[in-house]
Structure 1
Amino acid sequence: MTADAPGPPDDEPAEPGTTNISGDQYNIRIEQAASPTPASPRQVAEQQLRRLQRRFARPDDLNDAYDTLAEHNIVFLDGAPGNGRTSAARVLLRELPRGTGIYHEIATVKEGRSPEILSPGLVGEEDRMLLDLSAENQDLWKQYHDRLLGFHKILADKRAYLAVVLPHPYADQLSPDFTGYRRPVNRPDELEVVASHLRAHGVTVGRPRPAPPALHEYLAIHPPMRELARLADLILEARKALRPGSTFMDWCDLAIAAQTARAEEVDSFVPGLRKGSQRALLLTVAMLHGAPADVVHRATALLQKLLDIPQDDRPLLEHKGLTERLHKVGATRDDAACVHFEKLRYDHAVRRHFWLNMPDLRAPLRQWVDQVLDLPQLPDIDHRRLVVRFAELCLATDQEELFRAASAWTAKRHSRVTATYVRAAAELLSWGVQNEDTSQDFRTQIYKWSTRPITAGLRLVLIAVCARVVSIHYPEQAVVRLHHLARREPLREPRARGVLLEYVAQDLRLQLYLLYRLSLFSPANLRHKEFDAQLFLDLVAVPTWPAHSFLRNPVTRDWLTGCWTAVFRHTDSAIWSPCVKQWIRAANSSDDPDLVHHALNVLVDATAGSYPALRQVYATARASLSAEQAGLLLSRIHEAQRADSAPRSTSQEGPQS
């Protein structure tokens, strides 16, 4: 980041911690960092933006885009694919002064009866939002484009900000109303991109001109910014692998060779290994690269057994030692007794070689992964690495296999292994949601699961992933999924319900969003109607600031009326009567005299047509109101009753939709 870049000071929250959601037999731990204190999704999102900002190489003219966003609450970013448009949008939103709002990304896939495109309910005061349309088709682009004019006014009213990444093929179709807010994202200096990533990790290489020959040749093909970021990570690995005193040129040579030549080396090496036992060891080292030697030894034996590779039947003292066997496949054991290949990124190439060249190996390899995950000697970090490596392989050929794996892992019943596999499923789904290439597909699958009957283990995993991973960038989607999960969970285990209420309690906008769902999307299932009615009573008991703020808006008063109507219809008076009392007292304690009148009007309108409910509401309210307020309530009740008993129209036209 350049010194003259706009933006607030570095006053970031603490590192995020660990989430634990307990089950009967296991805990799910989604690691986010080493801090002992769990962080909120909002803190995690801000921290991720901070890390991006630190390694961001600022392209020319981006300050103009910042000025446009800050002044007009909206900016449209356009540029060639691979220029880093989405990262630029995130950095611009990060640089804005941070107020009470949150950063979040607007999902472009509608699910079920989700809110309308660019619903006002998605916007909170001073929110900073990203709408990434860069990969969308023309029809979806047009749908969003046609809603943006009205949405822009909402942004201004709520002092919120929106960065829109345009689909490059259709960018010229932008309305004349917005062309003044369109700004280019130029390709940054490629060498500076690499240097910025290195500086973010504490490695300063200056601005060497010209670039080292291998790096210069690689940059000449103008790779996408994402590839340059991966190359920078590889250069850091090369720096660690080389001896002290090596130069930036040495690091680049090794990193680029690892990125471009490893596959050919492996393709030439594997055919020379004639023995199945050697190939089993090679593949095991690749899958467990960096794991303790004893774990690699045990896992190799499991793979040989699974593939019917004969074991060495000679006496034990005549067997080759592990060090000698590792040397045969190009691996070694370090001072910490962990196994590594001697060549950088060799493990990646080996895994892909076996997966792509031996399709019949995929099914037994999946079984082997299951067995290795259950090894008690497998450290937590290698547990997660194995899950991610397996996921990356499946992604190359069959993404659906990942969903089948997560479902199967959470369906295991043996008490000794349940925790292991449930944690593996949580790690797998967390990885998929956070991976930009797979995030939408994984979030869609989680939505499908949340609306169907599922196992207890999968339900617990989905609760954790929604609350701590989906919620980071897609808070509304987290609410939707948690709501569906809560509707379908056993009444004796209301975990999703508790997590949902705890989550929305952090954010007034999410309380509003849940109210929107409860009021407008009444389910057909009677049990779900009853659940939603009781969930509403829990929601109105959640502290809001300012208190009872939903009563101030005519639209949200209509939503509240609809929800209270459902409460009176679908719950027993013994349940709702104490909630009515709390509702009235909360409104009456406000300094705003209009609030109590709004609160009473909502209740009266909600009980229309139900005299017993209306009578009990009045009796309950009198205990909490002054004589004057009780008189006003009685007048309002009489007014509602007269309106309800008024003659109806005899028009033959029928009701209008």
Structure 2
Amino acid sequence: MTDIDEVYGHVHTGSGDQFIEPKVVMNFLRETTEYMRESGVISRNDLGWLKRLFVPPQGFGLARERLSDTRAVLLHGPVGSGRRSAAKMLLHELSDETSSFAEFTEEALSAEVKLFPDKVGYGQRLLLDLTRGDPDTLSARRRELPALRAALDEQKARLVVVLPYDGKDWADEELARQFVEMARPSGHVVLRRHLEEAGIALPEEEELAPELLQYLTGPLRDIAKLASLVVRVEKDHPDWWVSEWLQAALAAVTERREEAAKQVARYSEARQRAVLFAAAMCCEASADAVFFVAQNLMELLGLTDREKPRLEQRGHRSQLEDLEVRPDQHGERVGFRSFAYDRALRSHFWENYPDLRPWFCKCSENAVFSAWLSRRDRRNLVDRYLEHGLNTGCVEGIIQTINRWSDTERNSSPAYWIQFADQALVIGLNDRRYGTRFRRLVYDWSCDENLTAPVGQLLVHVCTEVIAPEFPEQAMVRLHQRARREVDPAEPTARQALRGLALADRGMLRRVIHRFATEFRELRWWKVDPDLFAEMLDPWCLLDDGGATKPLAAESVVRSELVLSWRTMMDNRPDLTWSTVRWWLEAAGRSWNPDLLLWVLVEAAGHEIEALGKLHVTARDWSQVSGGAPGVAARLTRLIDSYQGIDDVDYTVASSAEEASP
């Protein structure tokens, strides 16, 4: 029996001493993120990257006009015509420092999740992609859209709705005026734009082979995949002509599957097929790695007892040669003769043996622990496992794998292995089909009272690097849940990440304030929430208009929510309240409009005379120390009197509590 599926605890994977420390975990996570950015799984700037590659479909200009004039536009068109990319680019063109992007994800997939108008934030750019919605969801969203449009006008926000191709009859006569049909752009232009990004010049359309021109009439996502293969061929064969790169890449997506099916049919023995599967999953790894992965698959399937004793079988290298699995020129790593043939072979196994997929998942999971794989081999294996596992719907198997690699169930994962959980999780989060399920996994982690520190670091990492750019509100919720439960956390903490998220974006700060106010109002708050709320409330961010018409503190809804949250803090955490009040007083003293902050404090304390008195005394005492401002304290006193209906009186700041009355 091979034991590659029995590696737990602190495994030493290299030379030198072993360290399981927070900094080591973060180093691995950062390295994995950089690797995935370089490989294109994580874009360095998703919308910026899209803009460079985007070819506007027909109808894009009209959609831009409709969105500008009416704040909402409904896009429809054939599958593969670039509707979603067009929607994101329309919203990207409207971006500025005062607006934030958000996508209605759950609302697009479930009729049970309501699309309430209060989900629209001021100046937001919103996307609702209904292309995968069922009839019930489409009907529910149609009923809710008129109220949502009213909220768009009130909040000066904009919305793009992407509809299924057959969804033109979805809306009533009034909404139908917002329809714009997207027609597919030229496939040749799309391919040229992608290759130009990689520094490859595509020949003119009339110079391309007929079979390539035919392929370029397909969905745009297939053209993007073809372009990535052309780039791979160019790296492997820089001395080839462009036409040869194109031919090899096209063959990889059109011809290799048939070749793979024929080869598997020729070799019917279980051992032979297990070796082919292992060679495809571990392509470019060592021959020994292929052997042990194949052996593990045989054991998982319970087939080893049916074979002759190992010494009576053909040698592994001879078997590889029989199966046309070839070593490289140095004889160290194995592969196949044809470009991308390994991918076709993997697709054949994953697609044609649905009953064996759980075992393929388990074998791939185990293989990462194999001592015969290098770090590079492991990364390649994770990429391949996730590609084919997701394509064949093995989501729950992948979730189990991530939990094992991160070791949340055993509570003893070394830093080294968590990088592969990170890699798999990021791929899952970026998958449009199943990203929701992986975000649910992160949410489940965030609510786990016993989450290990390394997995806590992983959670913070993916929230900030992967979830926040596309789903900032979901990142906020997960970081908040984690921040509530952190005990001696490793940096960066969820608390730090939540504050960074809130203060980096005006729209996000508004949503964070709303979340805390909602928790306080509905009595769902935790003991630590006032501390978190106080940390989020940088008064300078509330006073900064950020180029908008008015600061956040001047918005009526934000102001009422600040008052509610401050009142909760005053009633329950006096130790925290008055130190935070001093911070606000300092900001008010440097502001051109101090009343924006002072009125919030007065209204929050106004429900109780004792709180108003304490607010007055705190301001008085603060005004008498270095950095204090007597004028601010005097102004606060006037506002307190005004709130109580007392006539305006000239005040001097008293030096003691007894002198604090007019």
Same fold, TM exceeding 0.5? yes
- The residue number in structure 2 matching 1:553 is 555
- The residue number in structure 2 matching 1:431 is 427
- The residue number in structure 1 matching 2:323 is 329
Distance (Å, rounded) in 2 between the aligned partners of 1:327 and 1:570:
74
- The residue number in structure 1 matching 2:401 is 405
- The residue number in structure 1 matching 2:548 is none
- The residue number in structure 2 matching 1:151 is 151
Question: Which aligned pairs between 1:227-376 and structure 2 lie closer than 5 A?
Answer: 227-238=222-233, 244-246=239-241, 248=243, 250-273=244-267, 276-292=270-286, 295-296=289-290, 299-300=293-294, 303=297, 309=304, 320=315, 322=317, 325-335=319-329, 337-358=332-353, 361-375=356-370
Higher relative contact order (CA closer than 8 Å, sequence separation 6+): 2
CA contact 2:521–2:564 (8 Å) conserved in 1 = no
The 10-residue stretch of structure 1 (426-435 or 162-171) with the greater mean CA deviation from structure 2: 162-171
CA contact 2:192–2:202 (8 Å) conserved in 1 = yes
- The residue number in structure 2 matching 1:418 is 414
- The residue number in structure 2 matching 1:54 is 52
Match of 2:479, SS state, is: helix
C-alpha displacement at 1:353, in angstroms?
A: 3.1
- The residue number in structure 2 matching 1:17 is none
Pair 281,184 (structure 1): closer, same or farther in 2 beyond 3 Å: same
- The residue number in structure 2 matching 1:122 is 121
The 10-residue stretch of structure 1 (383-392 or 504-513) with the greater mean CA deviation from structure 2: 383-392
Letter of the structure 2 residue corresponding to residue 588 of structure 1? G
- The residue number in structure 2 matching 1:226 is 221
The 10-residue stretch of structure 1 (581-590 or 558-567) with the greater mean CA deviation from structure 2: 581-590
C-alpha displacement at 1:245, in angstroms?
A: 4.6
- TM-score of the aligned structures, taking structure 2 as reference length: 0.78
- The residue number in structure 1 matching 2:505 is 507
What is the number of residues matched between the two proteins?
598
Distance (Å, rounded) in 2 between the aligned partners of 1:542 and 1:333:
64
Letter of the structure 1 residue corresponding to residue 479 of structure 2? L
- The residue number in structure 2 matching 1:391 is 386
CA contact 1:195–1:207 (8 Å) conserved in 2 = no
CA contact 1:560–1:602 (8 Å) conserved in 2 = no
Pair 522,377 (structure 1): closer, same or farther in 2 beyond 3 Å: farther
C-alpha displacement at 1:558, in angstroms?
A: 1.1
Distance (Å, rounded) in 2 between the aligned partners of 1:634 and 1:55:
58
- The residue number in structure 1 matching 2:593 is 592
Cα RMSD after superposing both structures: 3.9
Pair 328,491 (structure 1): closer, same or farther in 2 beyond 3 Å: same
Distance (Å, rounded) in 2 between the aligned partners of 1:36 and 1:342:
29
Letter of the structure 2 residue corresponding to residue 57 of structure 1? V
Match of 2:541, SS state, is: coil
Residues 240-264 of structure 1, C-alpha deviations (whole Å, 9 max, x = no match): 666845563x555544443234333
C-alpha displacement at 1:291, in angstroms?
A: 3.3
Pair 631,436 (structure 1): closer, same or farther in 2 beyond 3 Å: closer
Pair 94,553 (structure 1): closer, same or farther in 2 beyond 3 Å: closer
Residues 48-99 of structure 1, C-alpha deviations (whole Å, 9 max, x = no match): 2233233333333433333444555543322122211111222333445755
Distance (Å, rounded) in 2 between the aligned partners of 1:521 and 1:437:
31
- The residue number in structure 2 matching 1:215 is 212
- The residue number in structure 1 matching 2:201 is 204
- The residue number in structure 1 matching 2:519 is 521
Question: Which aligned pairs between 1:157-172 and structure 2 lie closer than 5 A?
Answer: 157=156, 161-172=158-169
CA contact 2:127–2:159 (8 Å) conserved in 1 = yes
Matching of residue 604 in structure 1 with residue 595 in structure 2? no
Distance (Å, rounded) in 2 between the aligned partners of 1:121 and 1:351:
44
Pair 54,334 (structure 1): closer, same or farther in 2 beyond 3 Å: farther
- The residue number in structure 2 matching 1:85 is 83
Report % sequence identity: 26
- The residue number in structure 1 matching 2:638 is 632
The 10-residue stretch of structure 1 (44-53 or 181-190) with the greater mean CA deviation from structure 2: 44-53
Distance (Å, rounded) in 2 between the aligned partners of 1:389 and 1:64:
41
Unpaired segments of 5 or more residues in structure 1? Answer: 1-20, 38-43, 641-657
C-alpha displacement at 1:154, in angstroms?
A: 3.9
Match of 1:522, SS state, is: helix
Pair 114,493 (structure 1): closer, same or farther in 2 beyond 3 Å: farther
C-alpha displacement at 1:397, in angstroms?
A: 4.0
Match of 2:335, SS state, is: strand
Pair 522,171 (structure 1): closer, same or farther in 2 beyond 3 Å: farther
CA contact 2:99–2:507 (8 Å) conserved in 1 = no
Distance (Å, rounded) in 2 between the aligned partners of 1:409 and 1:74:
44
Letter of the structure 2 residue corresponding to residue 410 of structure 1? S
Distance (Å, rounded) in 1 between the aligned partners of 2:95 and 2:408:
48
Pair 493,612 (structure 1): closer, same or farther in 2 beyond 3 Å: farther
CA contact 1:583–1:599 (8 Å) conserved in 2 = no
Pair 385,525 (structure 1): closer, same or farther in 2 beyond 3 Å: farther
